[in-house]
């Protein structure tokens, strides 16, 4: 880890986790076993009404394929976090998060099923964030490429065990991630597994070199 570790949060398979990230610290999001998608959202910690916006993130970065240096932009047009390291380089900004409605109405699944929307709401509940206030997510390691006809093709995440992204907090943020529970589509290779947050205080020289 390129800095002093402050906190580690284990995110069990099919569940979510959340933590506060002070400005200037880096949050590492790790795929522990491989081929696992993480649905990630964040908020201004001092004003939870300001939250991650996938639309602004595409607009401000001018791409649906973010690289190191890309900002996660809020619904007020301000950078919340910045991607400063990435061992995979494949993510999704346009498909949002799976929900109970998605399993029922799109996949015709009639039984109960955990979803990223409910995972994120569950993880954020201690801060008073309700389901309706959870934005649609930045999907780490999700490989649903856009096809020439405009459709998206569900594929298994290309990440391997230990792959990660590092996110620098541009302000004090509240961050949450769902270890996507989808086992019906190939998103997680039909085998949802765990993820991990590692919060660390970075070497300033290393961050400066990556921006």
pLDDT in tens, 136-174: 999 999 999 999 999 999 999 999 999 999 999 999 999
Q: DSSP secondary structure string, the chain? A: --EEEEEEEEE-TT-EEEEEE-TT-EEEEEESSBS--EEEEEEETTEEEEEB-HHHHHHHHT-SS--TT-EEEBTTS-EEEEEEEESS--EESSS----HHHHHHTS---S----HHHHHHHHHGGGT--GGGPPPPEEET-B-PBPTTS-B--B----BTT-EEEEEESS-EEEEEEE----SSGGGTT----EEEEEEEE-HHHHHHH-
Give the model confidence (pLDDT) of 58-94 as tens digits. 999 999 999 999 999 999 999 999 999 999 999 999 9
Query: Is the pLDDT reported for residue 209 higher than 70?
Result: no
Q: What is the mean pLDDT of residues 42-69?
A: 97
Question: What is the per-residue pLDDT for 168?
Answer: 98
Residue 133 — very low, low, confident or very high, per pLDDT cuts 50/70/90? very high
Q: What is the mean pLDDT of residues 1-5?
A: 90
Question: What is the per-residue pLDDT for 9?
Answer: 98
Domain ranges of the chain: 3-210
Question: What is the per-residue pLDDT for 208?
Answer: 52
Q: What is the mean pLDDT of residues 91-116?
A: 92
Q: What is the mean pLDDT of residues 200-205?
A: 87
């Amino acid at each position: 880890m390129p800095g002093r570790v402050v906190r580690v949060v284990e995110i069990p398979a099919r569940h979510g986790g959340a933590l506060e990230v002070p400005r200037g610290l880096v949050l590492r999001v790790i795929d522990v076993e491989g081929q696992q998608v993480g649905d990630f959202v964040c908020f201004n910690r001092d004003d939870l009404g300001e939250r991650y916006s996938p639309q602004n993130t595409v607009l401000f970065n001018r791409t649906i394929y973010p690289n190191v240096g890309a900002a996660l932009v809020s619904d007020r047009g301000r950078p919340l976090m910045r991607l400063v390291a990435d061992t995979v380089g494949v993510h999704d900004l346009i498909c949002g998060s799976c929900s109970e409605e998605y399993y029922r109405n799109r996949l015709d699944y009639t039984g109960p099923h955990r979803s990223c929307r409910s995972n994120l709401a569950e993880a954020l509940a201690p801060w008073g964030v309700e389901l309706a206030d959870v934005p649609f997510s930045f999907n780490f390691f999700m490989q649903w490429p856009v096809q020439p006809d405009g459709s998206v093709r569900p594929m298994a995440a290309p990440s391997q065990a230990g792959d990660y992204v590092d996110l620098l907090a541009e302000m004090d943020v509240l961050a949450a991630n769902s270890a996507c529970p989808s086992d019906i589509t190939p998103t997680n290779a039909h085998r949802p597994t765990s993820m991990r947050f590692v919060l660390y205080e970075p070497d300033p020289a290393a961050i400066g070199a990556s921006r």
